[in-house]
A and B are shown apart, each in its own frame.
Chain A
């Protein structure tokens, strides 16, 4: 019982510090809106995004953002699009974060393993990301799962390196040394003493990775390398740009602008959350902004 109340007050304190930074709160609110949009898409969306109506209808009571070139409701497409973007973003950042943490812990704790893993990381980091993604996407059948695999493969090395550097410093701390001297097994030290201390760093890393993934997915879809029948924001933009009169009529206002804004807003909100968390994690940074 007592333990739980302590945790609650801890959380409260955490929230208080976080909410000091208004930017973080704004980011969180925007993100929540998108998450609600994605989760409850079938209930929020006024139409099935695959249902066909009159093509190229301007915004009206039936279709708040009009219809696209084959008569699908753009607003519904947009709402369902949040699913694709957020799903890929969170899935990839969590999986690649998990892989990165495990490898980071191991490579930071055991020097020989570390040397080996770091060379692999070097090799991965030397590869320019987007061109490689484009190359792979061009050869593989474009589907959401393929994108997830590609992004995960390319995402873990950075996390590994960041976690490792932190572990390297944590490993020499007194309490870790003390635990080791008392005969604690390596796995126990890693999980009980080191992991909780790299956790804040990891959270920031996850957020940053998520925003990268959203951008990469949109770019790929925009270039026409995604699944052409998937409803993602990048795909909406792709078809909007392909439409013949997009530059010489008003259509872009309700067809091109909204998905663009959605992408910008999600990434912005993730950035905001990232900034706020970074300050939370790094008290020195917090002190500096207050001075």
Chain B
């Protein structure tokens, strides 16, 4: 009797479960039949990256990416980092490298239906050059002399000097904006109208909520490269991306450094796939090169010797990263990476020796050195909350050589402002873009206290050198100066992966060399155009195949079986009672 009752309960549970799952599956499949929605979340909580217009986005990778869904550039990069035609079908460079002729794609339309022509190209370069301060993103527009319009589909860009990285750093970076809208805008930084997000891109912005960090785009069905393979794209801000993936609140997120560990718990989970990518990202300690005592090169070297990067990689990142190239360029980028740089291996005696020689000596024996005037050698180490653990380790490592450190946690935008103002001694900060030598323009970016005329001259020479071998030698030299002058000490390059639900979208890939000028995020707009499938798996590990999508039929069968069982058992019980 008990047995039977148990069975009946069990059957009931099965019935209720399968019925509900069946209904859910039916509703989900009904939803996907009409609209394919993909939601992703950044790994950083509080994901506001600014209004995704060319003048409104927050000047860091994720901000540019959100803008790049709406605006196109003349060229773009495919998954191998090769420059491919985009708004321009083809181009020619003149002998002297000063003139670039672009043949534009025919029939491209702005989101409002107006045609895109060579006049827009001319206007875009002209307008953004004029409002260079409002356009906070990296650009080298000072090289542009003027742009000529030959006909509706031919634009000629004249440069003041030959510019080696032109195709990536300018043509593949500066967004094209519609002349008919922006010509009347005098203060682009304040133009956050709906019309400010009219571009030619694969998506149109439908919703942006600054407080929530919420972005919603719909596919541009008239897109000249074909309609995107999804209908709606949503970017959310979540506290815990791994949990959000599990609950289905999001369909994709990237994880890097210590957080890439979650990949191991998703690798075997049905319905999920993991893709590893190279990460052109670096975490570094930025020194203030204008303030005593961090303006002394030897002092910065002493700090570098005291910081144990191996320990940080092991304890904080748990091996999901490598100690960084002190010249910033990622070691995977064999074309630019200079392998012969000093790496300042952890050496307390060496550090102490330098500090002693500089006259920072612990006179009162309290374990903290003093300046010559008797004041304690103590600094504030500023860090975003994400890197508080790295800061904690650095604090104890510097304590070993007698340097006092107080850790102060700030949010990223405040920290970026402090770096620009130069109001700091030591800051922990990180950025992408280290696959592209243009990051060497200001090696202590987002800080700006490193000023060195020989270095600047070399940097300028490098980008005007069209001969690849010569240019490479110059980039090597630049890295050498960074590693020896140490305006910043690169700590580690984290590993990076993205975890996603293949049933929603399975075309995610990491772009070799990074998107645009080197953004190491898996958000190349080609992902949403289904391009990845065409040239499958050149980098990143293969993804485990996902199980076949759940068929609602199975649930229906379960429900019927459950119902039958219960009826049968009820009947049997009834018979016995009688």
Contact = CB atoms under 8 A, between A and B. Distances in A.
Nearest to A67: B315
B265 A248 contact: yes
A52 B315 CA distance: 8
A245 B242 contact: yes
B409 A224 contact: yes
B32 interface: no
B408 interface: yes
A227 B259 contact: no
A228 B242 contact: no
Contact of B391 (A50, A228, A248): A228
Interface string A234-272: 000001001011111100000000000000000000000
A136 to B, nearest CB: 15
A231 B380 CA distance: 19
B262 A50 contact: no
A248 B246 contact: yes
Contacts of B167: none
B389 A70 contact: yes
Given A69-B258, A224-B409, A245-B262, A141 B380 contact: yes
A224 B391 CA distance: 14
Contacts of B385: 224, 228, 242
Interface stretch (B51-59, B392-400, B524-532): B392-400
A98 to B, nearest CB: 29
Interface of B is mostly: helix
Contacts of B261: 244-245
B407 A228 contact: yes
B306 to A, nearest CB: 16
Interface of A is mostly: loop
Most buried by B among A50, A244, A245, A248: A244
A5 interface: no
Contacts of A249: 265
B407 A227 contact: yes
B409 A70 contact: no
Interface of B: 240-243, 246, 255, 258-259, 261-262, 265, 311, 314-316, 318, 380, 383, 385, 388-389, 391-393, 395-396, 406-409
28 contacts: A50-B396, A52-B311, A55-B315, A55-B316, A56-B318, A69-B258, A70-B392, A141-B406, A141-B408, A142-B408, A224-B385, A224-B409, A228-B391, A228-B392, A228-B407, A228-B409, A229-B391, A229-B392, A239-B389, A242-B385, A244-B262, A245-B262, A247-B240, A247-B242, A247-B243, A247-B246, A248-B242, A249-B265
Given A229-B407, A247-B240, A248-B265, 9 more contacts: A50-B396, A55-B318, A70-B316, A141-B408, A224-B388, A228-B383, A228-B391, A229-B392, A249-B265
